[in-house]
Structure 1
Amino acid sequence: MQPRNMSMSGVVDLAAVKAAGEAKAKAEQARAASARQAEQGGAPAAGAVPPSALVFDVDEAGFERDVLQLSAEVPVVLDFWAEWCEPCKQLSPLLERLVVEANGRLVLAKIDVDANKTLMQQFGIQGIPAVFAVVAGQALPLFQGVVPEQQIRSTLAELVQVAEERFGLIGIEVDPNAEAPDAAAAAEIPAGPHDALLEAAVVALDAGDLAGAVRAYQNVLVDDPANTEAKLGLAQAELLTRVRDMDPQAVRAAAAESPRDPAAQIAAADLDLVGGHVEDAFGRLVDTVRVTAGDERNAVRLRLLELFEVIGADDPRVAAARTALARVLF
């Protein structure tokens, strides 16, 4: 899904979290206080923060304080993710980097949907990764699934513009010389033997260099064939390479018109997975295995196994799909 144009018509109902009127009232009060401080040359109420403080986890209990109230000072981007979601592992680091680059004009709140199902339901999340923003107590849908970096940059820039022009948000002050409390301890952790190559792969993914990411992950696997991170990363990079030039509407139309066409169903399953619709992707390919035979059936089966690698063997949906596949095959 492409990033949506920012519009105040895309407001999500947050009444179940906190009464909208109360949230807006608090937003107005805090915004007025921030504006007065800005006129006096002071820092925002939260004070100067290190860049690392611009990205944080949030749960249902802290949503009002950490998101609604903070959104009166700075736009809060919401990243709905889960540990099992491989596309999330592609998108989240990119969001974190872009928010830090915004230098206090945005913050990023990460929400684990497995631990915060109520928030997931209240925002109407159908698949992850899903990204929203909250500005002055109002929520705006941004995009769902993994999208190109340039489009994300454009969407976030528009978000900042909306926040500044329509709501007068001034952001928060960032102290580049400040260090998070655990930064020194983290720096003492020794690097692993393949950390440099794995980091190079992540950098390549962030830059849209999928071929470079594939090579970096393959180089790790040459020396360490069992490296889980490299195996998952390679499967993900190869998936993103396959879908990069697809026309989603054309692919889905072809799949709908030809339910027994292995190539059409494989392409649609790739799109399903990138969009966070894991069970749909698995179910589509299991159904295609059921109605095909010979080399066609084997091609579908192998693609399904590749998609299992993207999600990870420990994911319960992979286990369920393996069982369904076994029933179809045997």
Structure 2
Amino acid sequence: MKAAQFSRFGGPEVLEIVDLPEPHPGPGEVRIRVRAAGVNGSDWKKRRGELDPELPQTLGYEAAGIVDEIGAGVAGVRSGDAVAGIGGGGAAQAEFAVLSTWAPIPASLDFVTAAALPSVVETAARALDQLGVADGSTVLINGASGSIGSAAVQFAVYRGARVIGTGSPATHDYLRGLGAEPVAYGAGMVDRVRTLVPAGVDRALDVAGSGVLGELIELAGGADRVVTIADYPGAQRYGVRFSRGDSGRAEYAIPLALRLAEERGFRIPVGATFLLDQVAEADRVGESGAVRGKLVLTVE
């Protein structure tokens, strides 16, 4: 099968499409013929050698496609079903992928839209769980208009929370559409938030990693009420929890998001799509931050 791989660390130019043996599902897994695969920040971190010293490496943890092989002990899915999910193999940017967690794609979603969801919604739900966001909470989400921020806003609203979301003025109508009360980021953010909630917020989630953990702690009333997914040095400095997948994954978020997409219009904006053999360009665009929204590879 054709798959994205790199055999040396470096810039996007090290990525190439190679032929690899087809994977097969183990117990509790399914294999899909991939129709679309998500692109994430971990892809360029891997490619730069920041996560794993081994070479060569493949890319991709989330995909959408058609089930064509089913592992032992799997029930409730058949060959030919359209599903989206995540896998532990890190090779979803390929013609075939093995998924360990998946859910059916509703008829209203195409493969590209479905492939944009799994990693984003798992990360957002995990962080909200760690914060304890629930009905009646007031939560501030820093970086609310990006992919993970958008998911976090929608999940928090679904849970019954009041959501304050930071973003540039150009994103404020979009954030209102998701159910958040928008606030411009930058100098004076604390005062703008206090105009909406004079007593501060109950919880704060940092998605942007923009160096505002001190301000979030001030607004939330303590470091134990703040979680970041993007500012590891700041988390160390301020004693804030840094959310990572090895502390337990919120896999329930994948079927929930796909169901909410059908029932409530839950959405993650797709910024651009690329063919699988354009993976280097997709990686370059993603790393540059030039496009707002999720990047997705399509497989023909």
Query: Which of the pair has more CA radius of gyration?
Result: 1
**What TM-score comes out, normalization by structure 1 length?**
0.22
Instruction: Give the structure with the larger strand fraction.
Output: 2
Instruction: Give the structure with the larger helix fraction.
Output: 1
